[in-house]
Amino acid sequence: MVITSSCEQKKAKSQKEKTTIILVHSAWLGGWQWKETIANLKHEHLNVIAPDLVGHGDDKTPPGEITMDDYVNQLVALIDAEEKPVVLVGHSFNGITISRVAELRPKKVKKLIYLTAFLVPNGTFFFSAVKGVEGSKAVENFYLSEDKSYALVNQEAMHEAFAHDIPLENFVAAKHYIVSELAAPLNYALEVSDENFG
């Protein structure tokens, strides 16, 4: 027989009552982008997870092998490991990713939050969503590598395109964490249905 104190029981109950929030970084970045956000979200009722998607941050998966399925499967595995439905936050391009994840696990997703993110209909992909967009420094300075395998942003315009609202010195400190984004996930056409989160 195991005897637990009331303090331990309260702690166990608190763990069960916590809402898990999964913060999904934008293209080119990594889980590191959420550092200050996580500090502000520290609360006894929240469990915050900010993974590096495959090929981003500390993940060193060879880029040639990465597709949208890798991003989606990674997030599905995180959700499946949670007992209760989670809140998914997608930033920028990864609004498309969280839409697909919710389609595959509608009962495991409590809420979707699109943070300046792509909220697009079924069949839309990144390139079709940005085609013809004007007035965006990111879109204006975006280009593909010669072999069309990577999406890049002009170095000179990167601060204004990615982070015009933070001081230049903060951006310079973070710049070496920015990775080239693979074109394959950007070419993924979203698959969602009206029955689920579509």
What stretches of the chain adopt beta strand conformation (E)?
Answer: 19-24, 46-49, 86-91, 109-115, 142-144, 150-153, 181-182
Tell me which residues are annotated as active site. Answer: 92
Buried b (16+ CB within 10 A) or exposed e, 61-93: eeeeebebebbbebbbebbeeeeebbbbbbbbb
146 class by beta-carbon count within 10 Å (0-12 exposed, 13-18 middle, 19+ buried): exposed
